[in-house]
Amino acid sequence: MNLQETTVWVGDLLPAPPRITTRRVNQGFPEFTVADVAVGGAGEDGAVGGAGEDGAVGGAGEDGAVGGASPAPADAQPAETVAVTLDAARIDPGLVTDDGSDLRVELITVTSGHSRAAADLVTAAATMIAQDPHQRPPRPGLILPDLGWHVDEKMTAKHGLLVPPFLWEDGVPHVHEVDFGGRHGGGGHHDWTHPGRMTVVAQLVMLTDAEFATATGQGLGAVQRQLTEAEVNLNDVWR
């Protein structure tokens, strides 16, 4: 899919019309296009924090706050920000599906509060993957150590982990494109059809140092049990 097609697809997955921005972790790193939506709560203007003047990602405000939201009624939905990449699928990690389709991945995350952290985190994750996609293929179980450091040095859940998305009840969102002219196109003179390209969404969650130690020392099953038993709010990256 091109950027316009991906934007339409992702827009249908999000709870409200998103804001679209182009971001990068710093000068000299690749740019990524990100859609983000503020949901729940009530900020001063309901807006999500943006990138800096140079498009670089950043962290909390001068007082260390990450939201700036006004108090909400007790029964209101918690203030959260959802962010998803729109062009991380341009990264070719060499992954294939069972039927031989090229597998590409967009990244989504949710953070507590109305802030720029969610958009900055998926940008940083896409950047880290792009640096060596064959060593860091974007599939469930990939750990991205110290990812949060690129966003906010005060972030306590600073290690990234990719998991199958748990935001939708009907499974992992995906789009399967088939090229009837063969893998590289070229018209109808081919008498075969490449299985095509599958684009899916992977969810980024953030782990604290203790959770990261469990994941790397005892495995992902152990950290999943730890998080479940403690009823950890994975969206709170400053927990």
pTM above 0.85, yes or no: no
- Token reading at 62: 């001068």
> Tens of pLDDT along 113-151?
999 999 999 999 999 999 999 999 999 999 999 999 999
> Tens of pLDDT along 157-206?
999 999 999 988 888 899 999 865 544 444 444 444 578 999 999 999 99
Q: CA-CA distances (angstroms) from residue 134 to 128, 131, 138, 139? A: 12, 9, 9, 11
Amino acid at 161: L
> Tens of pLDDT along 3-55?
999 999 999 999 999 999 999 999 999 999 999 999 998 543 344 444 444 45
d(CA 122, CA 108): 7
d(CA 144, CA 164): 15
DSSP of 48-98: PP---TTSB-----TTS-S--BPP--TTSPPPEEEEEESSGGGS----B-T
Does 63 score more than 70 pLDDT?
A: no
